[in-house]
Structure 1
């Protein structure tokens, strides 16, 4: 039995492992994917909004070529941190069940069973995309993740969404030769889109380089077509790929399975102590973006690093 089981080997999960190590607590970090799996699955050319110093954990300096590091540099940095601290990580192990018992916490994965006195859920949100729940969404041509623009050259591409990710995808694929159409539920591009990008996408739409249907939704997807409901009525477009940049949500079912309660608000925010990060279940802690529920832009690396210290200070106290 270890003192702490940490679910999620993202930056905040790693930070929790480092703080546990500093407090001489035994721990294990479990992740169903690779190290910092969410960052690995970001678009290949992605650049962070934050400067490199805001992404640092464990007092290890993060030096990048530019003020804002890219995906490649972040992967290199977090590998270096994990190696420096020789963190006890178990990768490619999917958690199937978590149980609270008289002795502590039992975690069953697809490879083993682990027992701990406490547990930290730091599972992020990137693994669970919002689904459109329309016929044909399961087709191979429909993707909820974006990697690079090259596969969409000379293809009829529909991008769903009006936030940063959708705008970035639409602009990049358009500039690499895709025939881009945006389908947006809202009346326009969201005000939360990066201020230096928003005029670009609006001008491309205005000039007709990128087509856009606002206050519209996809109703059905076929192998070579997509049906869209617009304010002017239903239309059908020829289509090769759909990139549904509809956002993501935390693993609520995992939290619910262990008995974590949620506030009665629109964001389905989990109940936890903001000073200790302990949930309503004794010995069960939340760290990182999961603390915000559906408000996934509330917590990110730079402002949730403190969660690791909050948790380990409380455990050792």
Structure 2
């Protein structure tokens, strides 16, 4: 009965989304489409109905094709236009959502979960909302969306071509594991350009493995007196990249449902979630984002 009712609701919802799909929709409408599709991802998580899940996957693929065409037709315009004439991009995140808080004297912890999709965030949000009041905003990654480009764009506030021109010492050092080596330095340069002076330098903590993750709760206990801290978590990206090498992970994450379930299982037991619960008692704002899906 539940499956039949959901199928009816889903069909109606997709008809509403699809009726104007081929008629010049804007970036705000694409955000709404993605938000609604991701909502259905989470609704179908535990539903044992392969037919409706396949229908949803096919629907997503169809929208993806249209979205790619939209990006092809509009991305160059976004790169050329001012912020008020385009959607929020990777280069805008710090200036739009973090720096205004710092300028007001508020303490901020910025958490970047590498390679996190919106449907994964929807699942994590349910766990976090018991501890924090949450506001959601959406943005578009720059192109290419790969980590070296998208994440450096977030911390530098610059497109890759501008990074190469203004900071060749940080951008030109390409090698194994070096593409994101200078995120802290790029962030400090961005703070300088925006005229933001902090009482103490920003704390930058990057989690690449379990031993580094285990240090996080004890470190965050002193962050109540730090104006600005950054946590970069590579877990999801590492998990995706090792999936093809480990049979057990391949079996657990054979589809997006499995990936979401594993992400939630990790987060519940993670040192990051423990650290966030510690920071509940601090007078701080936590800003969480992803660099690419």
User: Which is richer in helix?
Assistant: 2
TM-score interval w.r.t. the shorter chain?
under 0.3
The alignment's TM-score, normalised by the length of structure 2, stands at 0.26
Report which structure shows greater RCO (CA 8 Å, sep ≥6). Answer: 2
**Is the strand fraction higher in 1 or 2?**
1
For normalisation by structure 1, the TM-score amounts to 0.25
When Rg is computed on C-alpha atoms for both structures, the one with the higher figure is 1
